[in-house]
Amino acid sequence: MPDLETIRHSAAHVMAEAVLSLFPDAKFGIGPSIEDGFYYDFDLSRPLTPEDLAEIEKRMARIVEAGLPFQRREMAREEARAFFAERGQAYKVELIDDLPDPVVSLYTQGNFTDLCRGPHVANTREIGAFKLLHTAGAYWRGDEHRPMLQRIYGTAFASKDELNAYLYRLEQAALRDHRRLGKELDLFSIEEETGPGLVHWHPKGGVIRETIEDFWRKEHRRRGYEVVYTPHIGRVELWKTSGHWGWYRENMYSPMEVEGQQYMLKPMNCPFHILIYKSRLRSYRELPIRLAELGTVYRYERSGVLHGLLRVRGFTQDDAHIFCRPDQLEDELVRTIDLAQFLMQTFGYEHYDVELSLRDPANIEKYAGSEEGWQHAESALVGALERKSIPYARQEGEAKFYGPAIDIKLRDALGRAWQGPTIQVDFALAERFDIDYVAEDGTHRRPVMVHRALLGSMERFIGGLVEHYAGAFPPWLAPVQVVVLPIADRHTEYADKVAEQLRQRDLRVSVDARRENVNYKIREAQLQKVPYMLIVGDREAAAGTVSLRLRSGENLGSKPLADFADRAASLVASRSMEL
């Protein structure tokens, strides 16, 4: 049985053959397999329609059923170049021109021949079950100055059951899409007048963010961090010292001139934290120093990659930097992992994968820092993970040039991976900014610097939470925790008293006093994912009770108001996932 990557790459070739039969003048880009399927880029005479996609899929089915063999042949590079040039396939010619090999391979099935390394299935019938998903625009070779091609995405599996299970997951993912839910729940918007990739937090979204940030600050202070605030701009010279000007320039905005000096919007918080550390002489007795900030940064992202809250141009990063002695490093890493695990558990992420990014042992000369420093840092990261009994995958060669790191991928309710906590040892910035501390023997020594972002971008983290919970947040995070629903106008006064008593318990409450049928108001509250609905009428007003419904639709009947308030306040205070 062929592996999924081979099946999907072969399906991309079959899709290209089907497109060629429908558009004989089509020009072909590339068609690789990807994590969940495949795509192919086409230069076509007109935009594709949904009807075209259905027709392409039908033609693919006929090709698959025909069991056409995939036939490989080799050609001298110049011969292959001439082969594609004669057929007007300029994109293939360009690809061949960039290949160093004197001989290239081509694959043919049916009426379609492609430049390809392979491998492929033996014949088209081995492709199994497939589905075309959607189209998108894609610049040729990712360059916005090159032609825009039409990309068709699809997926393929060995069996129909596997395909159906995947399509169901896609359907569930669409229902959880944070962009749709963000609008329906009135959490945030991205306004054309402001510009793409810049988020406006609406009151309800602001409540969620404020709740997370307050919890974040409290927990960091409890664990020995000091919260700082730093500017949004800095002189260009600062970014030259840090190295960002050299290796991160394309992701930074252009300088602005102020009184003859050039300033830039900050893409990172780290240089500012270093300057705080460096603002006075430090003793070994002060270390470790842990500086934390919810710092807003600005990075240039092409408009084509912007995606709701997940990929933006301005975002607030849950950032912190630890300055410690070498002998403190492993303990600090353990403390950081402890905090990361606590945060993940509190926000309802029970499953995650851990990767340890290390140097490429064959190219150690390309990394900053000393051999002794790298060995110590990598050993400390391994030691911290093993002390926490956390399984991890070693990623040789994936370390940044300035240090090794732990990266944690969160698994959401659908099993999808999200970028989670990252913990990075840095050898470059301490050296670039020449920071030190006075050791016990009176000498000046370089501290070890640790970067760590445990929630990452607040925008991306909240977008992930929206999808993880499908907008139905646990009570402590819900923007409106309780809605009181008076049955008639005469019950509004009691509803207001109920709401006021609950606000005194620090619960977030609204009263729906509209002149609507109570069942309509219950349905509206359910659509808004409000955890608790309290219906009040004559009987409740007389008895000092409330009729409790949950957003799940469960009717828990009459409850003394004080009992409900005690339970709801307790669940919120403990950050429970329960209702």
DSSP string covering 59-123, please? HHHHHHHHTPBPEEEEEEHHHHHHHHHHTT-HHHHHHHHT---SEEEEEEETTEEEE------SB
Helix/strand/coil for 36: coil
The predicted pLDDT at position 476 comes to 98
Residues ≥6 apart with Cβ < 8 Å to 549: 522, 532, 533, 534, 535, 555, 556
Is the CB of residue 535 less than 8 Å from the CB of residue 525?
no
CA distance 69 to 2: 14
The predicted pLDDT at position 350 comes to 93
The predicted pLDDT at position 515 comes to 93
CA distance 560 to 399: 58
The predicted pLDDT at position 389 comes to 95
The predicted pLDDT at position 400 comes to 86
Residues ≥6 apart with Cβ < 8 Å to 361: 396
CATH of domain 482-573: 3.40.50.800
The alpha carbon torsion through 463, 464, 469, 472 (nearest 10 deg) reads -10
The predicted pLDDT at position 248 comes to 87
Token pair of 153 as six digits: 């995405």
Token pair of 172 as six digits: 């569930």
Helix (H) or strand (E) holding 510: strand 509-511
CB atoms within 10 A of CB 274: 24
User: What CATH homologous superfamily does 4-171 map to?
Assistant: Threonyl-trna Synthetase; Chain A, domain 2 (3.30.980.10)
Q: Tell me which architecture the domain covering 188-230+269-468 has in CATH.
A: 2-Layer Sandwich (3.30)
**What are the φ and ψ backbone dihedral angles of 291, each rounded to 5 degrees?**
-105, 125
Give the start-to-end residue ranges of the domains of the chain. 4-171, 188-230+269-468, 482-573
**Which tens digits make up the pLDDT trace of 174-189?**
999 999 999 999 999 9
The predicted pLDDT at position 104 comes to 95
The predicted pLDDT at position 311 comes to 94
Which sign, positive or negative, has the C-alpha torsion 77, 80, 82, 85? negative
Query: Which segments in the chain show pLDDT lower than 50?
Result: none
CB atoms within 10 A of CB 166: 17
Output the DSSP codes for 302-334: -GGG-BTTTB-SEEEEEEEEEEE-GGGHHHHHH
Token pair of 433 as six digits: 């900014």
Is the CB of residue 117 less than 8 Å from the CB of residue 105?
yes
3-state secondary structure 415-479: CCEEEEEEEEEECHHHHHCCCCEECCCCCEECCEEEEEEEEEEHHHHHHHHHHHCCCCCCCCCCC
CA distance 486 to 350: 39
Helices 561-573 + 492-503 axis angle, to 10: 40
